[in-house]
Amino acid sequence: MQNIQTVLLALAIFTVTVVFYLKGFLTNFRMAQGGLRAVDYEVFGRVQGVFFRKFTNDKANSLGLRGWVKNTRDQTVKGQMEGDASDISDMKNWLQETGSPMSRIDKVVFNNERPVDQFSFENFKVSH
């Protein structure tokens, strides 16, 4: 019985090690391929008081993006995002076309889009 427990523990440690290794490998692979991008954005319309930041956070996390989103004093939503070029493109489309169910998106401005060598954020979050 003790041998089975030892084998299962070793297998669990091995699995965790492989997962962390692959996660780091994929991040480094994306950076080596030049696919890691960053972009700033601002969303205009009815985007405050309609859970826009929550839905933006959920969507960005589902795409594996990193960055932040926050309300502004000008009644807009502003943020930065980093990630794979195709995921950035998907998020840009989502910000322009979808948003939260009760929002009304009048305009989205993207600027300072650039390639980056590495992530500057650990995750995507709502800022205050």
Q: Quick one: the chain helix, strand, coil %, rounded to 5? A: 45, 30, 25
Q: How far apart are CA 65 and CA 80, in angstroms?
A: 10
One of 30, 37, 53, 66 is an active-site residue; which one? 53
Distance, in Å, from the CA atom of 64 to the CA atom of 105, rounded to the nearest integer, reads: 23
Q: What is the CA radius of gyration of the chain?
A: 19
Q: What's the pLDDT at 20?
A: 56
- Residue 93 φ/ψ, nearest 5 degrees: -60, -45
Sheet order of strands, 124-126 included: 104-115, 36-46, 77-84, 66-71, 124-126
Instruction: Tell me whether strands 66-71 and 124-126 are parallel, antiparallel or unpaired.
Output: parallel
Which DSSP symbol is given to 99? -
To the query of whether residue 46 is one of the catalytic residues in this protein, the response is no
Judge whether 22 and 71 are in contact, CB under 8 Å.
no
111 is catalytic: no
Altogether, the residues listed in the chain come to a count of 128
Residue in 71, 93, 111, 112 annotated catalytic: 71
**Residue type for 32, please?**
A
Going residue by residue through the chain (128 aa), what tens digit of pLDDT does each one get? 677 777 666 676 767 566 655 556 555 554 445 589 999 999 999 999 899 999 999 999 999 999 999 999 999 999 999 999 999 999 999 999 998 899 999 999 999 999 998 899 999 999 88
